[in-house]
Structures are given as structure tokens and as C-alpha cells.
Structure 1
């Protein structure tokens, strides 16, 4: 207790003791204590280092920044080794206090508080939660977009707990979520994706995000600043979340005209592959618009996999419109860009061949071997796709052995004609 009082008194007298300077000019006792602290802290002899640390703090609080760096290390080490709960808590709090004293004498507040924030949740959660909340608030204010991802997610977690305890209002929680979301969006990487998920989960635990709420809280903010890209992104994100939360029978927020309006506006301002694909899905009942956005998505794709997915979806869309030739071309492009989806692409082509049986009759439609050559082409394409079921189905429509024999067509090459234009070798059932 005496040492603690001495430390407190020393901290209240910032002019006490030696302030920096050349260590060679320090009194021998001061140099000796400084060396004992440094050496023993480095060797994890924390009990041996403690008396030197507390003497330096009591008598020379402005001596050197390393007194605090090594001192914090000593207190953390003693806290970790302590088996008695009271001692563990005592050393934890002393370590945390030293971060503040280091700032008091040597500045660099933003950086030092970031160090403090690493240990704070382990030491203070459930014991000094309000202090932890205030620490996070200060760190976010000082560091802005450079705030650590863990601080962002933990801060929101405490806010959610305070909301449940009626210590924060709905608006306060939403405003904090908005502030922290901006920080998360200003960064990238897996840890920030995880932080964003945590932010949304904490918010969802205390506030029901439905369409009425979005229109009440977020839409007025958008209307006040309709060209703000971040605001548009935020409203869209909330509308999507509200749609996921919608109960059976409720109109989804993504079905509102405002959703499409915002999605198109955002795409015009900041076109990306993902945003184009969102509009493809949003306009699935308007084939021409959906197709137009899909073509833009392909242009914006930044990987072969995304391009391949886009081309395959475009092929499916064209197939539905009856544009088989264009669909085949895009299916082949998808297969070339991403071999892992080649099977799907070739299957699609094979089924288009099967669907063309009545219109693709070869160069001599009166000859049943010519008329049925399209199914041999379909069989070959199913085989390329690795679809044995499709192969068996196509084979059922092959020319019969009698037809092949009667027309002397066995082993002969026949061009399927029409849009397919492939040449196949005639075989019988």
C-alpha cells in the first residue's frame, strides 16, 4: 500500500526526479535501477524487476519511456503468474494504469491506447466494462479508420449489452453502428469482413431491422443527402437485411421501388461486378434489362471465374430467349475461362441440341439418318459433359439399325445443319 501511495504522489508531481537526458549523466543508483529493471524484465524475472520498477516510478517518473514499456511488461507478467485473484486483479490494473502514465509523460496517445486496448477486454470485461466502453470510444475518436478491427467489434458488443440494460437509446446504438460501419468499410481483408459481420449481428441482437424501421430511420437520411454514395450503400444494406428478416407474407424491402432506384443510382456512380449482378437478379422479370446488366457485369468482372459465371448465366438467359447460337458461343467461352464449370456449359449445349430435333434435319430431311443426326450431336455433347443419363436419353432417338441399313448410312458423315452446323458420324441404336 505504501508503494502505491508513493506512486500516486509521484505521479501528482510531474517535476519530481530526473527528466530524460544522457543515461551516463544519471546518478549511479538511478542507472543501476534502470538496468535491473530492463535486464530482469527481458529475462521474465518479474519479481526481481518489481522493486526497481516501483522505485523508479516513485522517484523518477519522467526518467525514460522504457521504464513504462518494461514496467507494463512486468505487471502483465506478474498478473499472468498470479494464482491469487486479488493479486491478479491488482497487477492487471497497475499495468493498465501505466499505459495512462506513459501517455501523461511521453505522449503518443493514439498508439499507446491501441496497445492498452489489446489487454483491456481480457482484464476489464465483466469487471470494469464501463471503463472498457470509454476506452474504446476514445480510441475510435483518436484513430478513426486506423482503429483495430477487434476494437470495432468489441465496442459494438458492449454497446449492444448497454442497450439491453437500457443504458443506451436506440438512436445512440444506431449512430454508433453507423460510425463503426464506416470504419469497417474503409478497410479490407478477412478480419474486417468478420468485424462487419459482428457489427451487424450485435445490432440485430437489440434492434429489429424491418422495412418500416429502414424507412423511418435511414430513408430520411438518404433524402437529406441523396448523392452520398456511402449513404446509398448503407440504405441498400439495411433494406437487404430487412428483407432477410421479413416474416412470411410480409412485403420484402427489396421489392420496394426505392430499392431498384438506389441500386441503379449506386451502379451509375460506382459500377462493380457485384452491383451489376444484383441488378441482374432484381430485373429477372425484365429479360432485356437483366441481360443488359449481365453484359455489363461481365465487362466489370476482375477474375476469369466471375467472367465465366457471367457468360454461363448469359448463355442460360439466351437459351430461354431461343437464341441458341449465341447461347452456345457464350457457354463455350465460360467453359474455356473456367474448366470447373465446363460440364454445366456442355450440358446446356446438349439440351439445346435435343430441343432442336424438329428444326435441325440435316441436309436431306427425308432421310431419317439425316433427320436424327442432331441426336448424335447431342449424345456427343452429353458425353463431353460426362452426363451418362443424357447420353442414354439422346441414344433413344438415334436412327434405327434398319434405317441405317436401308439408307446405307453406317459410318457416314452427316452435317446436322441449321444453327448447330456440326458434322457427326451415323450410328444406329
Structure 2
């Protein structure tokens, strides 16, 4: 019997990397049982041995908390009313203990925001109002910003700020606080996106070099892509949520009122000019005033770009490219330059800078979607016959697929199979003229 227990302990040492000196043998055995069952997703069977270890040896192993969350989430799916509330409170208690015993695996910001998200998702059961929930998120955000990274929690935190603004007096000070929170969360999202894009770009570089990713790297790649997709949803969700609350009619009076008190605050100036640009307020004198002040006390690539927009002077354009050295930020800047050329109808220039952005940050495939849209919009003027004009949509579809889109909406506008047959062009290559300067192969029948 002693030999058998020794072998179990040895196996667990390998699997869990924990010191088992003088630990309870019952906990050792049940840890193995519930972890094996949880790996097989047999959560109902895992519950009893898990609870035994959890209650008897709460510091025994982090698996108690990692698998415990899965077990409780499984039980929560089929529970209602008071039963669900009991499980949710137990889930929160589990997270608090995880934070206490395993702080590296359960950091404060991430764990407390997860706890508050549970309460938000079930606020009727917890009988909590928006103000109390916001305050909990805010406390977690301020206590440990670094680990407050969950996309859903970040969005909920910002969403609550907007809801509280809508429910309040809506003074200019209230609006400024809401905009500050928008900027806070946006900057946090940008930090996380840059970190994941940097990691993903390294794996993309391996693939482009012809290297087959290991199983572990493949899992990492999927994980990074998933996080980036979720952060992208946050950004679009936040912009939709703030909507007309941040239009020029609202922003300009606020910035006019607060300028004198913030003219030496580079963070305020940076946020103000970025928001005015994003909301299409760049023609207002207040935008000029803010940009010039920011350039006077702390010039950077953004101020150079905005000065280029305002003056059209080449020197500011050159500064824009020179001042930014971080590849991810520079790619974002190139996208901004490209978007400006696109808005002006300078599609060739826009494509050039979208392609520069892709070189610097290949994991961000959205420039392909913008290029596809420009191809589609240019179909009538870049094709010399009706068939060739519509053939441009095949090119747009190809580019859209590179950007992660299906391309089906473009393909639907391309020549049909019957039209390909009647034209006699099946399998032939068509050269597209004007700024596009690309060739596209007609599908074979």
C-alpha cells in the first residue's frame, strides 16, 4: 500500500509540480481523480472528489481552482434562481481563494474584474445597480491595471460609464469623465492589441519563412487571433456605444472650456486631438489650436500628421514617418495616412500605405479589406468593357479573403458562369488598368 501511494505521489509531482511533503494521502488520490474526470469533461462526477480536496486541502494545488471553475461553470448552466445564486457565490468564493493562495495565476485586476463580471451578468440575482458594479470595476482597474485584460470586462466597464452618464445630469463635466473613461479603456485595449500582434507577427514570420508551427505554437497562434478578434469587437462596440455622445457639437464646447486649464497637459491634448480627428472635427479652429499647442510642448508622429493635414506641407509628412519608430504604432499610423488618401480618392497612394502597414504588422489583415473596397469602388473606371469592369470584383474578392472576409459579396457582382461561357474568357487573364494595375484570372468552367 505504501509503495502504491508513493507511486501516486511521484506521478502527481510530475503532473502538477507541487511540493507534497506531508500532504494528506486522501487529497493526493482525489486530486488525481477529479482532475482526470474534469479533463474528460465529466464535471458532475468530478464535483464530489473536487469538493473533498478543496475543503480539506485548499492550498494543495492550483488545479483545485483551475478545474474548480470549469466544474462550477458547468453546474451554473443548468441552475436557476436561488440555486444559481448559491453556485455563483461559491464561484466568487473560489476566485477569492485562488487570488489568496495563487496570486500569480489569479492576479488582482483580472480576478476582481472577473468577479464583478459574474455579478453584472447576474445583477438581478445579486440585486446590484450600475453604480455599485461600476465602482467595483473601477476599483479593480485602479488597483491592478496590468492584469485587467479580459475583453468582455473592459467593455462592460466602459459601457457602465456611458449608462451612468445617460442616467445622470449630462453636464459637460460628466461628459468629460465619460470621454476620459473611453480614452482610458481605448488606450488599455491598444496596449493589449499591440502585445498580441507582436507575438502573432513572430509566428506569422515563421510560417512565411516556410517553417511548420509546432502544436504548441499553433495553439498560441489561435489564442492570439481569438484575443485580437475580441479586442476588435470591443473597439467597434465602444465606438458604437459612445455614438453621437461624442460628436463635434458635443466635443468642441468641452474642449473650448477646458483648454486653458489643460494646455500644458500633453495627455489631455493628445486625447483631444485624436478624438476630434476620429469624429471628423479637423476643420474646426479648435482642432488647429490643440494640434499647434501639442506640437509646441510635445511633438510626435500624430501631431506631425495632423499638421500635414492642416497645411499640406511635405516636411510634416516626412516627420510623420520619421518620428514613429515602434513597428506596431507605425503600422497604425500608416493606416491613418492611407485612410486619409482613401477619403480624398487617392486610391493608389492609399494602397501604398496600406501595404506598408501590412509589412510592419502582418497579423493585422484589415488593410486588405480597405484595399478590396477601393478595388470594388473603382470597377467602373478601371475596366474597359462591361465584362472587365465586373471582373474587378474577383480581384476585390481575392483581397477581401486575404483580410479574413469571405469575398462573397464581391463575387456576387462579378460575371456569372453563363456570362463567362458566352464571353469565351474562361481561364484567361485580364489586366486591370488605371491605378489598380493588377491582373485577375477568369475562373474556369
TM-score (norm 1): 0.52
The corresponding residue for 1:270 is 299
Contact 2:31 2:53 in 1 (8 A): yes
Match status 1:259 vs 2:287: yes
Q: Residue 297 of structure 1 is aligned with which of 317, 324, 332? A: 317
Q: 1:32 to 1:112 in 2, by over 3 A?
A: farther
SS in 1 for 2:58: coil
Counterpart-to-counterpart distance in 2, 1:308 and 1:172: 35
Distance 1:74 1:214, change over 3 A: same
Structure 2 partner of 1:66: 63
- Give the corresponding residue for 1:163: 165
Please report the RMSD computed on the Cα atoms of aligned residues, expressed in angstroms. Answer: 5.0
What corresponds to 1:235 in structure 2? 272
Say if 1:334 and 1:84 are closer, same or farther in 2 by CA, change over 3 A: closer
Unpaired runs of 5+ residues, structure 2, are: 1-16, 194-227, 322-329, 356-370, 382-432, 436-445
Q: For residue 310 of structure 1, report the CA deviation from its aligned partner.
A: 9.4
Q: Which residue matches 2:33? A: 36
Return closer, same or farther for 1:143/1:276 CA change in 2, 3 Å cut-off: same
Contact 2:134 2:160 in 1 (8 A): yes
Matches within 5 A, 1:298-317: 298=318, 300-301=320-321
Contact 1:117 1:151 in 2 (8 A): yes
Q: Distance in 2 between matches of 1:240 and 1:334?
A: 18
Equivalent position of 2:261 in the other structure: 224
The answer to whether the Cα contact below 8 Å between 1:110 and 1:143 also exists between their aligned partners in 2 is no
Deviations, residues 168-205 of structure 1 (Å, cap 9, x unaligned) = 98745642541451352253546656545544543446
Retained in 1: the 8 A contact 2:117–2:153?
A: no
**Cα distance in 1 for residues equivalent to 2:240 and 2:351:** 39
Structure 1 residue 232, shift from structure 2 partner: 0.9
* Partner SS state of residue 61, structure 1: coil
CA distance 1:220–1:34, shift in 2 (3 Å):
same
Q: Is the 8 A contact 2:33 2:49 kept in 1?
A: yes
Q: 1:74 to 1:169 in 2, by over 3 A?
A: farther
Name 1:104's counterpart in structure 2: 100
What does residue range 117-136 of structure 1 map to in structure 2 within 5 Å?
A: 117=113, 121=117, 124-125=120-121, 126-127=123-124, 128=126, 130=129, 132-136=133-137
Q: Partners in 1 of 2:303 and 2:271 — Cα distance?
A: 14
In the aligned structure 2, how far is the partner of 1:335 from the partner of 1:59? 63
- Which digits, 9 at most, give the CA deviation of each residue in 1:103-145, with x for residues without a partner? 2344448626525645864663243454643442233113325
Which structure 2 residues correspond to residues 322-401 of structure 1 after superposition, within 5 A? 385=434
CA distance in 1, matches of 2:343, 2:52: 73
- Measure the CA separation in 2 of the matches of 1:336 and 1:212: 35
Question: Alpha-carbon deviation of 1:100?
Answer: 1.1
User: TM-score, length-normalised on structure 2?
Assistant: 0.50
Q: State the structure with more CA Rg.
A: 1
2:186 is equivalent to residue 184 of structure 1: yes
Give the Å deviation of 1:262. Answer: 1.7
